[in-house]
């Protein structure tokens, strides 16, 4: 079965890969001058737009923008894959406040635009692997989380970083249903958060992050299953003990804390050995750590990845 048999937006709205990879032509096509750069936050913020850096083989083709933004898991807007694109218009991502809490030098509430203004955005192409078995190749824009953590200056007791999504049923109608314990909470071990691959995402395909993809800011750790990528983040908390995360609370036998992509450990209802890449007819083998073993495997030396799934 073809996972995405037709575009979820009109063909005219899809940026093709050739145009995208040619960064200069792409910026021109969306009306952004090279001197001004492309905004990855809000219309008030513009930053230089370096070429997207690939962190995987060149054989991986980009998933079309329409599919990246039209086929999502974001239960705050509904449990169907098309629900976020249909329902996320009620979210107001600007202005946006984020609370910095826990064992940090300067806890408090910050304006996101002002907080991220000093940072230089990077642009990277990452594989994205969902626990249900589908995958995409997505060009993200954002700030390496390690740079943000360095500015926040956590204390010596901070062993984990917890991320909390907005809880506002008026803006997020899916929260009117008790399908999950709200608000949505995810977390990383400190060394995972400091890994060079971990990205504080603010844009996709060189455009501001759409509401249905977690505007205005979300988390991306590409060697983990997609549910680890908390969206529309309103709080970052540094703690000593491993936090209780949403899916681990809701179904601990199915969703572990680590959620590393591992083809040898199946989900109780799905095999993880193979995946269905968007736009491809045949399934392909799932790679250990989603293909990022060289960058992340050393963090799990000596850890039983079957018990700590």
pLDDT tens digits, one per residue of 169-191: 999 999 999 999 999 999 999 99
CB atoms inside a 10 Å sphere around CB 109: 12
pLDDT band at 59 (very low <50, low <70, confident <90, very high): low
Confidence (pLDDT) at 60: 82
Q: What is the mean pLDDT of residues 114-127?
A: 94
In terms of Cα–Cα distance, which of 98, 104, 96, 257 is closest to 186?
257
Give the C-alpha separation, 221 to 157, whole Å: 23
Q: What is the assigned CATH class of domain 11-300?
A: alpha beta
Q: Where are the domains of the chain?
A: 11-300
Q: What is the mean pLDDT of residues 11-23?
A: 44
Confidence (pLDDT) at 28: 34
SS3 233: strand
The answer to whether the pTM exceeds 0.95 is no
């Amino acid at each position: 079965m073809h996972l995405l048999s037709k575009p979820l937006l009109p063909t005219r709205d899809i940026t093709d890969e050739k145009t995208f990879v040619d960064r200069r032509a792409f910026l021109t096509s969306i009306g952004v001058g090279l001197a001004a750069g492309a905004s990855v936050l809000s219309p008030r913020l513009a930053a230089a737009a370096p070429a997207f850096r690939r962190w995987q083989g060149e054989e991986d083709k980009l998933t079309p923008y329409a599919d990246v933004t039209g086929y999502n898991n974001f239960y705050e807007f509904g449990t169907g894959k098309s629900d976020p694109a249909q329902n996320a218009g009620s979210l107001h991502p600007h202005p946006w406040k984020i609370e910095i809490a826990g064992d940090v030098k300067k806890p408090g509430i910050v304006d996101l635009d002002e907080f991220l203004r000093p940072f230089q955005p990077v642009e990277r192409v990452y594989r994205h692997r969902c626990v249900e078995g589908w995958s995409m190749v997505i060009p993200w824009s954002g700030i390496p989380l390690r740079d943000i953590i360095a500015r926040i200056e956590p204390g010596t007791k901070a062993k984990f970083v917890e991320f909390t999504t907005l809880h506002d049923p008026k803006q997020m109608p899916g929260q009117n249903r008790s399908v999950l314990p709200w608000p949505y909470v995810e977390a990383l071990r400190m060394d995972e958060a400091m890994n060079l691959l971990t990205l504080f995402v603010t844009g996709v395909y060189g455009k501001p992050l759409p509401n249905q993809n977690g505007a205005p800011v979300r988390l991306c750790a590409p060697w983990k299953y997609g549910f680890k990528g908390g969206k529309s983040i309103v709080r970052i908390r540094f703690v000593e003990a491993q936090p209780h995360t949403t899916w681990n609370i809701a179904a601990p036998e199915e969703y572990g804390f680590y959620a590393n992509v591992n083809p040898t450990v199946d989900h109780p209802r799905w095999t993880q050995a193979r995946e269905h890449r968007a736009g491809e007819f045949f399934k392909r083998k799932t790679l250990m750590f989603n293909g990022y073993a060289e960058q992340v495997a050393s963090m799990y030396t000596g850890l039983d990845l079957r018990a700590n799934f």
